Chain A
Amino acid sequence: GAGVSQSPSNKVTEKGKDVELRCDPISGHTALYWYRQSLGQGLEFLIYFQGNSAPDKSGLPSDRFSAERTGGSVSTLTIQRTQQEDSAVYLCASSSQGTAANYGYTFGSGTRLTVV
């Protein structure tokens, strides 16, 4: 597509439920990133996918968080047993290269997650 697409744009869930957030990157972009934007905290790196390489999961805050990327394209971020502190905007970005990249990422509009 023309840009990075994220769905849903908004999600309200009850504490303890599982949620799935979807990211559809720009076609041909081999690198995909998830960031979390919490109020007043800036952007926090969560996970990075590059082609068929093993993802870098070093930013995932707990084992309740997981992500996968199918066929080198669409990615799903899953949060199990959601907690109120998980409330944030989850941003996905893609870029045309990985470690050799010097280009800015292209970000999606984000999914605003509210845990009640």
Chain B
Amino acid sequence: AQSVTQLDSQVPVFEEAPVELRCNYSSSVSVYLFWYVQYPNQGLQLLLKYLSGSTLVKGINGFEAEFNKSQTSFHLRKPSVHISDTAEYFCAVRRSGPGAGSYQLTFGKGTKLSVIP
């Protein structure tokens, strides 16, 4: 089984400042990693994903994340945030191979990013 820990439930940051949202995972098998964003009253939208290859992954809206296998982390970063980035962000994992439950995404509890003007 996999588990995901998002270390910060809320992160306030001033507009145009950099931000890092932390995500750590636990798994006994290889995993794929995802970040999703949820704007108010909307569903989840995929920001980026790590499947294999380069550990630095770039996504939409200027976000990027770095996979660190030794630290079992997949932190999300943006060098300069905008008001429109205010949302809740979810880290998720799924096992990378076939097998029972391999399709199932396991989510963290989310981090609410508030961008302050």
Contact = CB atoms under 8 A, between A and B. Distances in A.
Interface of A: 4, 31, 33, 35, 40-43, 45, 48, 50, 56, 58, 91, 93, 95, 98-110
B103 A31 contact: yes
- Per DSSP, are chain B's interface residues mostly helix, strand or loop, or mixed? loop
A19 B63 CA distance: 39
B43 A109 contact: yes
Interface stretch (B12-20, B66-74, B75-83, B94-102): B94-102
B7 to A, nearest CB: 13
Contact of A42 (B34, B49, B102, B109): B109
Interface string B83-117: 00000001010001011011111111110000000
A97 B26 CA distance: 25
A106 B41 CA distance: 16
Interface in B16-44: 32, 34, 36, 41-44
B103 A50 contact: yes
Given A42-B108, A104-B34, A110-B43, A99 B103 contact: yes
A58 B36 CA distance: 24
A48 to B, nearest CB: 6
Contact of A107 (B9, B43, B96, B106): B43
A39 to B, nearest CB: 10
B36 A104 contact: yes
A102 B103 contact: no
B51 interface: yes
Contacts of B110: 42
